Structure 1
Amino acid sequence: MEVFAAAFEASPTPMVVTDPRRGDNPVVWANGAFLGLTGYAREELYGQNCRMLQGPLTDAAVLQTMRSALATGRPFEGELLNYRKDGTSFWNGMTINPVCDEAGKVLFFFSAQADMTDKHRLELAMRDANDALEREVSERTADLRSALEQKTALLHEVDHRVKNNLQVISSLMLLKARRTPEGDARNALQAMADRIGALSTAHRMLYSEGDVTRFDFREFTADLIADLAAGLDGDRTRIETEIEALALSAAMAAPLALLIHELTTNALHHAFPEARRGRVAIEAHRFEAGMRLVIQDDGIGMAAVPSNPAGFGRTLVEMVVRQLRGTLEWSDAGPGTRITITIPLVGTDAL
C-alpha cells in the first residue's frame, strides 16, 4: 500500500479520493498534482466536499448527472468548469470510479483528473475562426450572388434589346419587300426578313429563361414553330414535333433557330406545290454525346424540285451546321425529303 501511495503521490495526473461513508462525502486524500491544479493545501482540502471547486459558471446539468451517478455508486466521466483557490477558472476533465468491498458496498470514490483548459481554449478559437470563416463565405457568396444577378439582368437586357432591334430590322425589310416589284429581289428581302424574325424569336426565348446560360430546347422549338405555323392552312399542311427536353447552351439558340426556320420553311414552300396536302415532322433526341435533329416532309421529294443556283437556303444550312461542328445528310424519305443533322453536345442536361 505504501508503494501504491508513493506512486500515486508522484504521478503527474491529479488524483483525489473521497469517503462517502462520512457525512458530505469529504476529501480524504489528494496527491501533489491535484494540489498544484487547484492551488489548495491538503489541510484546506481534507474534510471538505469537492463542491468547493465549483463556481457561478459551473454547469448545473453536468453536476446533476455526476451527483446521480455517485448516489447510485456508478462511475462518472465528464468535464466541469472548476475554480482554483485564487478564483481563476479551469476546465476539469474527470473520471470518478467507486471503490467497493467484497460485498459491493462503496468505500471510496477515486477520481483522476486533467486540466482541459487548453483544449477548450483551442475549441473556442476554432469555433471563432469557423464563425469568421462562415461569415466571410456568406459575405462572399452574397457578393457573388449579387454579381450573378447583375450579370443575369444585363444579359436579359441585352437579349431584350437585340430582340427589339431585330424586330425593327425585320419590319424594315418587310416594308421594303412590299415596295419592291415581284421577283427575285422581293423574294430575297422577304426571306431575309423571315430569317431575322427567327433570330428575334431566339432572343425572345432567351430573355424569358431564368438561366441565361441555357435554354429548354423543347419549349424553344415549340415557340419557334408556333410562329411558323401561324400563317398555315391547317387543313392543307401541318407541322408536327417530337422534341426531347434538353437544356442546351444559350450560344446554340440562334444557330438552331436559323436551322429549324430555314429547313421548315423550305419544306413548306417547295414540298407541297399546287395545293398538295402534307406535313412536316421535326424530331430531336439525345444520343450518346450528341443530339440528332431530323426534319422530314412527305412532299414531292428533292428530285421533283427544280434546282435553284441562286438559292441561299441550302448554303446557309450547311454553314450553320459547320458552325455547330455537326454533320448534315439529305436523303429521300419516299415520299418526301429527310434532313438529318447530328450535333455534338458537351455538358448538356436532360430536363
Structure 2
Amino acid sequence: MTARSRRLEGSMDAGATFASAFEGSPTPMVLVDTQRPDHPIVWANAAFLTLTGYAWEDIAGRNCRMLQGPMTAPETVAAIGAAIAAGTSFEAELVNYRKDGSWFWNGLTLSPVRDADGVVTHYFSAQADMTGKRTLEMTMSDANANLGRQVAEQTADLRAALEQKTALLHEVDHRVKNNLQVISSLMLLKARRTPEGEARDALNGMAERIGALSTVHRMLYSAGDVTRFDFREFADDFVDDLVAGIDGERVAVDASIESMAVSAAMAAPLALMLHELATNAVRHAFPDDRSGRIGITARRHDGALHMVIEDDGVGLSAGRPNPSGFGRSLVDMVVRQLRGTIAWRETAPGTRVEISVPLDSVSLRDAVADPEDNAS
C-alpha cells in the first residue's frame, strides 16, 4: 500500500470517527450545503432532531428557515444571511420553533466549512436551548423592575413624609418665634411699668434672652434644612443688634465668626451663651463712660466650636456687683449641658472667656434647663 493510499485511508477513518462523535454528541448540530440552491440541510445529529421535534425525513433537503416563526427577530435572520454571504462565522440567540409549534430560544454558532481551495462549501451550526437562561433573565429583569418601582414608590412616600415633617417643623419654629416675641413684648411692657431697680432690670434681661431665642427660631424657620443651624448667621444678626444699641464711638465690637452648621438642638443654648457673654461685657466692662473694645471670635476645629469673647474693660474683680444677675451661672450651665469647657480669665486689663463645645455627637438633656436643676 502506497503512502498516499495510507493517508487517504487514515483520513477516511478520521472522518468516520468525527462523524460518529458528532452524531452521538449531546449538542444539537446541523450541516447545510452552500453549493446547492437554498442551502439545504444535508446532515443533522440526533440531539438536533430531539431539540426541534423533527424526524430526519422532515428536514432533509430543507432550509433551516423552517425553524423560524412570528417571534423570530428579522434583524437576526438578516445578520445570519449576511454572515453566510460573507463566509464568516456568526453567533446569535433567536427564537426558533419546534415541529409542534412551541418556541424556544436557540443559541446558535455558525462556522464555515472550506475545501482545499478555501471555498466555503458547507456551513456547520451548533445549537443550544437557551430558554431557561432567557426565562431566568426575564424573571430577574421583571423582579428588578418591580423592585425599582417599589423603591421609587417608597422613596416618593419617604420624600412626602420628609416634606410634611419639614413643613411641620417650619410651622413649629414659626409659631414658637411668634410666641416668644409676644412673651418678650409683654415682659418689656411690664418692665416699663415697673419702678427702676432690680425687678425692672431682671424683666429687661429676661426679655432680651427671650428675644435671642426668638431670633434662633426665626432662622430655623427660614432655613432650608430644619435640622441644622448656621451659627454665623445668628452671630452676625446678634452683633448688628448689639452694635446698634451702644455708643459706637465709646465701645467698639469686632467679630470674626466662621460659618459653621450646628445641630438645631444646640441653637438655643449657643444663642443664650453668646447673648449672655456679649451683653454682660457691654454692660459691666466699661462703667462710668469708659471706652474700650469687645472682641468675639468663633471657629470650628477638630469637631468643636471654639469661641473667645474678650474685652479690655475693668475686669471681673473690679466690676460692679449685681445681686439679681445670674448671667455667669447661666453660661456655665449651658456649657456643661453642651459637654464643653469654659475658662474665665482676668487679662489686666479686661476679661477673656474661652469656650470649647463639641459639635459632633453632643447629647443634650434639654435645650434650656432649669438653673435649679444644675445648682451644686
Asked if TM exceeds 0.5, the reply is: yes
- State the partner residue of 1:232: 246
- State the partner residue of 2:102: 88
The residue matched to 1:135 in structure 2 has which SS?
Answer: helix
The residue matched to 1:272 in structure 2 has which SS?
Answer: coil
Q: Match for 1:204 among 218, 228, 235?
A: 218
- State the partner residue of 1:341: 355
Q: CA deviation at 1:101?
A: 2.5
- What does residue range 88-237 of structure 1 map to in structure 2 within 5 Å? 88-237=102-251
Q: Match for 2:293 among 279, 282, 285?
A: 279
Q: CA deviation at 1:157?
A: 1.2
- State the partner residue of 2:370: none
Q: How far apart, in 1, do the equivalents of 2:104 and 2:310 lie? A: 83
* Residues 104, 279 of structure 1: alpha-carbon distance in 2 compared, 3 angstrom cutoff: farther
User: Are residues 1:33 and 2:47 paired?
Assistant: yes
Q: How far apart, in 2, do the equivalents of 1:60 and 1:5 lie? A: 33
The residue matched to 1:235 in structure 2 has which SS?
Answer: coil
- What does residue range 50-65 of structure 1 map to in structure 2 within 5 Å? 50-65=64-79
Larger Rg: 2
Q: Which segment drifts farther, 325-334 or 91-100?
A: 325-334
Q: How far apart, in 2, do the equivalents of 1:113 and 1:347 lie? A: 64
The residue matched to 1:172 in structure 2 has which SS?
Answer: helix
Q: Which segment drifts farther, 4-13 or 115-124?
A: 4-13
Q: Is the contact between residue 178 and residue 214 of structure 2 (CA under 8 Å) also seen in structure 1? A: yes
Q: How far apart, in 1, do the equivalents of 2:110 and 2:297 lie? A: 77
Deviation digits for residues 270-319 of structure 1 (CA, Å, limit 9, x no counterpart): 22223333332221111113121111223333343234344211001001
Indicate the RMSD between aligned Cα atoms, in angstroms: 1.7
Q: How far apart, in 1, do the equivalents of 2:43 and 2:292 lie? A: 106
TM-score (norm 1): 0.94
User: Are residues 1:44 and 2:24 paired?
Assistant: no
Q: How far apart, in 1, do the equivalents of 2:248 and 2:59 lie? A: 103
Q: CA deviation at 1:139?
A: 1.1
- State the partner residue of 1:260: 274
Deviation digits for residues 243-283 of structure 1 (CA, Å, limit 9, x no counterpart): 22222100000000100111111111122223333332221
* Percent identity of paired positions between Structure 1 and Structure 2: 64
Q: Is the contact between residue 316 and residue 350 of structure 2 (CA under 8 Å) also seen in structure 1? A: yes
Q: CA deviation at 1:235?
A: 3.0
Q: CA deviation at 1:334?
A: 4.5
Q: CA deviation at 1:193?
A: 0.6
Q: CA deviation at 1:133?
A: 1.1
Q: Is the contact between residue 285 and residue 312 of structure 2 (CA under 8 Å) also seen in structure 1? A: yes
* Residues 285, 36 of structure 1: alpha-carbon distance in 2 compared, 3 angstrom cutoff: same
- What does residue range 281-320 of structure 1 map to in structure 2 within 5 Å? 281-320=295-334
TM-score (norm 2): 0.88
Q: How far apart, in 2, do the equivalents of 1:105 and 1:190 lie? A: 107
- What does residue range 313-332 of structure 1 map to in structure 2 within 5 Å? 313-332=327-346
Q: How far apart, in 2, do the equivalents of 1:57 and 1:70 lie? A: 22
Q: How far apart, in 2, do the equivalents of 1:37 and 1:223 lie? A: 82
Q: CA deviation at 1:220?
A: 2.4
Q: How far apart, in 2, do the equivalents of 1:175 and 1:7 lie? A: 108
Q: How far apart, in 1, do the equivalents of 2:331 and 2:105 lie? A: 78
Deviation digits for residues 115-160 of structure 1 (CA, Å, limit 9, x no counterpart): 1111111111111111111111111111111111111111111111
Q: How far apart, in 1, do the equivalents of 2:289 and 2:32 lie? A: 110
Q: Name the aligned partner's letter for residue 357 of structure 2.
A: I
Consecutive unaligned residues in structure 2, runs of 5 or more: 1-14, 363-376
Q: Which segment drifts farther, 183-192 or 220-229?
A: 220-229
